[in-house]
Amino acid sequence: MIAMGAKGFFTDTTVCIGCKACEVACKEWNQLPDDGMFFTAMSYDNTVSLGASTWRHVAFIERPVPLGGQTTAHGISWLFMSDVCKHCQRAGCLENCPTGAIVRTEFGSVYVQPDVCNGCGYCIAGCPFGVIDRRAGDGRAWKCTLCYDRLRGGLEPACAKACPTDSIRFGDVDELRATARARLEQLHARGVTEAYLYGEDAARQPGTEGLNAFFLLVDRPEAYNLPPDPVVPTRKIAPAWLSLAAAALGMAAAAVGAVASSQERGHS
Amino acid sequence: MSDRGSVAAEARTAGEPRHVDPEVGLLVGEAAQQRVPAERAEEGAPPYAVWDRSVAREERAAADTTYYDRPVIKEPVWIWTVPLYFHAGGAAGAAAVLGAVAQGVERRRLGRLVTRCRWMGAVGSALGSGLLISDLGRPERFLNMLRVFRPTSPMSVGSWLLAGVGALSGASAVLASSDGLLGRAGDAAAYGAGLLGMPLAGYTAVLISQTAVPAWQEARRSLPVVFMGSAMAAAASLLALAPLGPREEDAVRRFGMVGQIASLAGMLAVEREVSRIERVGAPLRRGPVAALWNAARAAEVAALLLSGFPGRSRPRRTAAALLGTAAALGLRFAVFLLGRASARDPRATFHQQRAGRGAAEVTGTAGVASPAGDGGEAATSAEG
Ligand code: SF4
């Protein structure tokens, strides 16, 4: 394996136009099956969420307030965000996986090996972002692979390639961070003071120790269905193991006490 | 050519969900082998109720934003066999412990109890494994559970524990009536099963706590006590269903009562832990989960009273055992459904993290991400 810096995405939501080219490119390249066709009445979002067969999802948020530094006749703003697996530095899915099916690749991405996964579902409950899922009929867990096959062939992921506004940028995470910070400064200078970066490093998002796919947002994370302070569940679990140890010792003590104090005389 | 033909055939039987004409396009993408049912209907209803309300007209308080009220995390996909396994595996672990202790303290006079505990450990583990395998998306790959040992994954730890207790209890049960070297090997196996049975009885509490599900995460300190106590009660109730010697029955009764008291105390602690955040504790206050939770508690109290008062007639003992089993089962299902309800509510996650009980609880930093000038605590104070 070639040693190299982690690869990832910087998704700048301020230039996303909601065209869903990324969703389509992802489905096409990975030959993902469809999820059924229906309308949801959620703005223009009929995809709803990421899932086993949806590895990119564009969120549509219609707000009754304008964007900072903007003057529009009706005082509204329409936000879009192309969501994806975050390829967390500390990934809940990976740390929960009991079979070793989920691995960290040479690109720093988190990859589910479909030939190993036995569909236990523990990764699904372990992901703080609700990304990975199992599909009925298939039985295995699926999510974005960061286009592992394309990266091996020296190509960028299909979504980044298709994005017409460069809202989705692919590259070395270190370089993406610099790009993102420069873009943030530019936006602040233009009066979009609410712009901020989400999950760009361990300092900004200590619970996951940073995301390899991070975002520039202009509203609360909740508006985009992102958790405000996500944490890999493993980091919080030490007290549970301690409780378990105490309870197990208590059970052993109770067994000794019950056997030692038990009496021969029957009442029946 | 034949390879391509079979892929094409599979695509046709799968209802061609990729809309790729297999005569023209090759199915070789990363997800080309993802199977979907031929009939959409087999997948059940769409993942949400379409048109059930007009979102556009919905009042959206800025301080309590969600994304169209859609869940932020995925609901656990586990089916009913999983809480049933919590019960069976817990009982197997607790029985292995009780059996090992009885064997160490009074092997000669408690022989029947020792043997029955060995069988319970073996049968419980086997049954539990079956329940877990039936929940897998790819049951034929169940052996992959023992492909690696991953200490960060309670499910991996638990798989090894379950395999260990099953094998050791099974061996000791088969050797229960042997003497000499074989008998001693059986005794050693039973001690080993008892040792591994200690964590096996309650590790499932750690397993569900290590998820993004808000209620399970919040209750991570008290759930192990509930599960351990429930496992003791489950084992004792099952052991009490068939006659043993008077002294043995008394030991089982005492063991079960300690378990019931522990699980009742643990339930109170769980209620306290989850109600720190209004939205996280909501399913335990009203609705079907609360009803099941309270029914399980009532049954547990009744079982405890029945076995606590003097006088032990056979019908009364049986009634206590049945009530105890129902209580333990009801409790496992209530905890399971609590997690499912909690995962469906995006506000449970959002409020928990806004209140500083997300990553901030362990990292000590205020990591909540928000635009500049946005009152980070607004969501919590808006709860009222
Ligand atoms: S976002 Fe979820 S699925 Fe993606 S790496 Fe992180 S934990 Fe795993």
Strands A213-217 and A7-12: parallel
Amino acid at A238: A
* Strand, helix or coil for residue B343: helix
Which structural domain, as residue segments, surrounds residue B247?
Answer: 81-355
Residues A245 and A184 reside in one and the same domain: no
Would B224 be classed as within a structural domain? yes
Question: Which pair of tokens denotes residue A33?
Answer: 């099956």
What residues have CB less than 8 Å from B139, skipping those under 6 apart? A118, B133
Q: Is the CB of A85 under 6 A from ligand 1?
A: yes
Q: Which residue has a Cα nearest atom 2 of ligand 1?
A: A127
Number of folded domains in chain B? 1
The CA–CA distances, whole Å, from B67 to A48, A49, B200 equal 10, 10, 40
The pLDDT, as a whole number, for residue B7 is 53
Would B72 be classed as within a structural domain? no
Residues A222 and A268 reside in one and the same domain: no
Q: How far is residue A216's CA from residue A89's CA, in Å, rounded to a whole number?
A: 18
The pLDDT, as a whole number, for residue B369 is 74
- Chain Cα centroid distance, residue A101: 18
Residues A222 and A238 reside in one and the same domain: no
Residues A147 and A242 reside in one and the same domain: no
What CATH number should be reported for the domain holding residue B136? Answer: 1.20.1630.10
Amino acid at B163: A
Residues A42 and A149 reside in one and the same domain: yes
Average pLDDT over residues A126-154: 96
Nearest to B212 among A29, A233, A268 (CB): A233
Residues A259 and A135 reside in one and the same domain: no
Residues 190-219 of A with CB under 8 A from B: 193-196, 198-199, 204-208, 217-219
Which structural domain, as residue segments, surrounds residue A183?
Answer: 7-228
Residues A248 and A191 reside in one and the same domain: no
pLDDT in tens, A25-67: 999 999 999 887 778 878 899 999 999 999 999 999 998 888 8
The pLDDT, as a whole number, for residue B49 is 52
What CATH number should be reported for the domain holding residue A200? Answer: 3.30.70.20
Residues A57 and A128 reside in one and the same domain: yes
Would B97 be classed as within a structural domain? yes
Q: Do residue A120 and residue B372 have CB atoms under 8 angstroms apart?
A: no
Q: How far is residue A100's CA from residue A116's CA, in Å, rounded to a whole number?
A: 8
The pLDDT, as a whole number, for residue B32 is 86
Would B87 be classed as within a structural domain? yes
A235 in reach of chain B (CB within 8 A):
yes
Question: Does residue A133 surpass a pLDDT of 70?
Answer: yes
Residues A202 and A179 reside in one and the same domain: yes
The pLDDT, as a whole number, for residue B54 is 43
Number of folded domains in chain A? 2
Q: Do residue A39 and residue B252 have CB atoms under 8 angstroms apart?
A: no
The pLDDT, as a whole number, for residue A65 is 84
Question: Does residue A250 surpass a pLDDT of 90?
Answer: yes
The pLDDT, as a whole number, for residue B378 is 38
Would A2 be classed as within a structural domain? no
Query: How high does pLDDT run on average in chain A?
Result: 93
The pLDDT, as a whole number, for residue B40 is 61
Would B369 be classed as within a structural domain? no
Location of structure tokens 């009562």: B257
Element at A213 (helix H, strand E): strand A213-217
Nearest to B102 among A122, A250, A259 (CB): A259
| Cα atoms in the 13 Å half-sphere on the side-chain side of B380 | 16
Q: Do residue A243 and residue B14 have CB atoms under 8 angstroms apart?
A: no
Would A1 be classed as within a structural domain? no
Residues A213 and A238 reside in one and the same domain: no
Residue of chain B whose Cα is closest to the Cα of A24:
B18
User: Nearest Cα to A245, choosing from B321, B225, B371, B72?
Assistant: B225
Residue pairs spanning A and B at CB distance below 8 A: 406
Location of structure tokens 């948020």: A61
- Per-residue pLDDT of chain B (384 residues), as tens digits, is 445 555 545 544 445 677 777 777 788 888 888 887 766 656 655 555 554 444 444 445 556 889 999 999 999 999 999 999 999 999 999 999 999 999 999 888 899 999 999 999 999 999 999 999 999 999 999 999 999 999 999 999 999 999 999 999 999 999 999 989 999 999 999 999 999 999 999 999 999 999 999 999 999 999 999 999 999 999 999 999 999 999 999 999 999 999 999 999 999 999 999 999 999 999 999 999 999 999 999 999 999 999 988 777 889 999 999 999 999 999 999 999 999 999 999 999 999 999 999 999 998 876 677 787 665 443 333 332
Q: How far is residue B283's CA from residue A123's CA, in Å, rounded to a whole number?
A: 24
Set of chain B residues whose Cβ sits within 8 Å of the Cβ of A30: 29-32
Looking at residue A79, what DSSP letter applies? E
Nearest to B20 among A31, A36, A97 (CB): A31
Set of chain A residues whose Cβ sits within 8 Å of the Cβ of B150: 95, 97-98, 100
E strands along chain B, which residues?
A: none
The pLDDT, as a whole number, for residue B29 is 86
Contact present, A18 and A187 (Cβ < 8 Å): no
Q: How far is residue B321's CA from residue B327's CA, in Å, rounded to a whole number?
A: 10
Would B17 be classed as within a structural domain? no
Question: Which pair of tokens denotes residue B6?
Answer: 């079979």
Residues A53 and A104 reside in one and the same domain: yes
ipTM of this complex: 0.95
Instruction: Specify burial of residue B260 (Cβ count, 10 A radius: 0-12, 13-18, 19+).
Output: buried
